[in-house]
Chains A and B, each alone.
Chain A
Amino acid sequence: MATPDPDKLMAKADKLTKLSFTRWTADWKNATSLYEQAAIGYRFRKDNEKAKEAFEKASKGQEMISSPWDAAKHMESAAALAKEVGHWNEVSDFYKRASELYSECGRSQPASDALAKGASALEDVVPDEAIQLYTDACVILEEDGREQMAFDLYRAATSVYVKLERYADAATFLLRWGIAADKCHAVNSQCKAYLSAIIIYLYMHDFQQAQKCYNDCSQIGAFLSSDQSRCASKLFSAYEEGDVEEIKRVAQSSPITHLDHVIIRLARKLPTGDLKELNKEEAKEEVLDENDLT
């Protein structure tokens, strides 16, 4: 069978779907298969723009004939082509629509995967949108009770935050990761997430926040008795003593080297700023306390 010209197929399909005097109902079934063929033909010809459009229309067709799964698949293809073309807002729209269609089918994993693909496509270009997509993907999985699958998403989102230097957000996200890990009893991941959050706070030179974070996390028994919490307490004591060598040594120690590479890079750069300042701050706080007592 000779492959007919995709343009002709598109034209034919459009004719089938356009309602006119002679045609009262659109023939979506045939139109959809024509659109699909046209899309494949365009893709073969590397005509990404037209292929993207064809996939879009094919997806709409599939929706009309009530098969959201195929519709979602076509949407994803369209989104991938949009990425090639460089229409970034279309990328995010298409992936979001694909995710919605997958959720309609009741399949949360592909839905979240679609959003994750979108996010990774947009990471470099529109990072805020990427973060939003990652967060939504995590939410979808958590609602379905499959938090374990979300770990990769958390990791990717954290690395985007760190790249954007939004460290407070990164630390908060890590704590969310800790909660997710707690729900599925992944103790190792939970402790690693908490240690990473503490390191980020220290990198931001926010010692108080780091201490608070450590105290909060110590409420959790699993973290309290873990290697990671011991490492954190060593780090804190090194900070309090103002011993730079000790801090560097703890940063080279094994619990930290087993964290994500983004966090390791931050840890290697510790300590940021002047340690004596921290001590002065602490002394000031003590003075205040004394005043309160008297």
Chain B
Amino acid sequence: MSVIDILTRVDAICKKYDKYDVDKLNASNVSGDDAFARLYASIESDIDSAIQKAERACQEKNRAAAVALNAEIRRTKARLSEEIPKLQRLALKKVKGLSKEELAIRNDLVLALPDRIQSIPDGSTNGAKQTGSWTSASHMEIRFDSTSDGMFESEYFQQTEESSQFRQEYEMRKMKQDQGLDIISEGLDTLKNMAHDMNEELDRQVPLMDEIDSKVDKATSDLKNTNVRLKDTVNQCFEEMRCRGNRYLDSSSSLYCICISWVQDILRSYSVAAHSLYYCICNLNGNHGWLACYRECDVCALIIYLDVFLWLFIVTNLDVTYLLAETGPCMKAFAILQNHVGCY
């Protein structure tokens, strides 16, 4: 037989023969007759169970379970504290079979009970310090468990000392946050004002932009028209000159030679003038080479050449081949002008 078997058998036997246990019977009988004794016994057993629960709560790892146990203990304590006046009344009653000393003892026992009940640890002394004051506060408000405020205050005095520091810290942090939020709000106010002003400014500029848009469109179309006409004119001139040039290839009178030389001098001076203008413009544009300058739409200087050319053509009916030979740049300019105009 194992130990367990022995134990169970012994238990079974004891239970069977409990009714023959005189002491126990006496004890239960005594408490059965005496209301005081009964109540006292029940209170004692409650206190014991509460103490056991308190011990379990101390060891409990799970905070929620610990809190629940502590709450139960507190309820028990409150209930027991409420029953104490009843017990006191019963204690003063005279019961048969009880000596005077025993009555006095009962009174003392009753008086000792409240202290014993309060001394049961219910987690508020050791447990969560942060919630200490909270629980005291909540207990202050939800009154159904407590009987007197004084007892709680004395019990929780320690918490307020520790938690007052925390409260201070909390207040400090709140103040700092408020300061920070004030600064942020100031910044946001400024931003909002600037945004509103920007909004109004943009609204103001929208119709101006529309005006600019339409005017520039008009200018662009005018420019395109002008360029097309210029291109036509230049092409025409070119064609005419080529025709005229072929026609005069055979004639070479002295008068013509004189005219040509005279005109060439003038042309050279114009050419020099135009070249210097180009060089100036080139320097301004930072380019080197007048040909590059032509490409940069210096229509004004090109038109000088064109003017000269047309003047020559109209006034003197020159032998254009000589002209072509002598004024290479002029033709180049012409061609480039054509190209430039042609791109429109």
Interface residues of A (CB under 8 A from B): 146, 148-149, 184-189, 227, 254-255, 258
Are A258 and B203 closer than 8 Å at their CB atoms? no
Q: Which residues of B contact A149 (CB under 8 A)?
A: 204
Total A-B contacts with CB atoms under 8 angstroms apart: 25
Q: How far is the CB of B75 from chain A (nearest CB, A)?
A: 52
In the assembly, what is the distance between CA of A255 and CA of B196, in Å? Answer: 12
Q: Which residues of A contact B200 (CB under 8 A)?
A: 148, 186, 188-189
Q: How far is the CB of A188 from chain B (nearest CB, A)?
A: 4
Are A148 and B196 closer than 8 Å at their CB atoms? no
Are A184 and B193 closer than 8 Å at their CB atoms? no
The reply on B189 being an interface residue by CB < 8 A is yes
In the assembly, what is the distance between CA of A149 and CA of B204, in Å? Answer: 7
Q: Which residue of A lies closest to B194 (CB)?
A: A258
Q: Which of B289-332 contact A (CB under 8 A)?
A: none
In the assembly, what is the distance between CA of A185 and CA of B204, in Å? Answer: 11
| Known contacts A188-B196, A188-B197, A188-B199; is-contact A258 B190 (Cβ 8 Å) | yes
Q: Which residues of B contact A146 (CB under 8 A)?
A: 207
Are A148 and B204 closer than 8 Å at their CB atoms? yes
Q: Which residues of A contact B186 (CB under 8 A)?
A: 254
22 A-B pairs whose Cβ atoms sit less than 8 Å apart in the complex = A148-B200, A148-B203, A148-B204, A149-B204, A184-B203, A186-B200, A186-B203, A187-B196, A188-B193, A188-B196, A188-B197, A188-B199, A188-B200, A227-B189, A254-B186, A254-B189, A254-B190, A254-B193, A255-B189, A258-B189, A258-B190, A258-B193
Interface residues of B (CB under 8 A from A): 186, 189-190, 193, 196-197, 199-200, 203-204, 207
In the assembly, what is the distance between CA of A189 and CA of B198, in Å? Answer: 11
In the assembly, what is the distance between CA of A189 and CA of B203, in Å? Answer: 12
Q: Which residue of A lies closest to B188 (CB)?
A: A254
Which of B190, B193, B199, B203 gathers the greatest number of chain A CB atoms within 10 Å? B193
Q: How far is the CB of A251 from chain B (nearest CB, A)?
A: 15
In the assembly, what is the distance between CA of A202 and CA of B103, in Å? Answer: 87
Q: Which 4 A-B pairs have the closest CB atoms?
A: A188-B196, A254-B189, A258-B193, A148-B204
In the assembly, what is the distance between CA of A215 and CA of B186, in Å? Answer: 28
In the assembly, what is the distance between CA of A227 and CA of B204, in Å? Answer: 23
Q: Which residue of A lies closest to B207 (CB)?
A: A146
Q: Which residues of A contact B193 (CB under 8 A)?
A: 188, 254, 258
In the assembly, what is the distance between CA of A4 and CA of B293, in Å? Answer: 34
Q: Which residues of B contact A227 (CB under 8 A)?
A: 189
Q: Which residues of B contact A186 (CB under 8 A)?
A: 200, 203
Q: Which residues of A contact B197 (CB under 8 A)?
A: 188
Q: How far is the CB of A257 from chain B (nearest CB, A)?
A: 8
Q: Which residue of A lies closest to B204 (CB)?
A: A148
Q: Which residue of A lies closest to B195 (CB)?
A: A188
Q: Which residue of B lies closest to A253 (CB)?
A: B189
Q: How far is the CB of B206 from chain A (nearest CB, A)?
A: 10
In the assembly, what is the distance between CA of A187 and CA of B189, in Å? Answer: 16
Q: Which residue of B lies closest to A191 (CB)?
A: B196
Q: How far is the CB of A198 from chain B (nearest CB, A)?
A: 18
Q: Which residues of B contact A148 (CB under 8 A)?
A: 200, 203-204
Q: How far is the CB of B342 from chain A (nearest CB, A)?
A: 36
Q: Which residue of B lies closest to A109 (CB)?
A: B208
Q: Which residue of A lies closest to B185 (CB)?
A: A254
In the assembly, what is the distance between CA of A258 and CA of B193, in Å? Answer: 7
Q: Which residues of A contact B207 (CB under 8 A)?
A: 146
In the assembly, what is the distance between CA of A219 and CA of B272, in Å? Answer: 77
Q: How far is the CB of B123 from chain A (nearest CB, A)?
A: 49
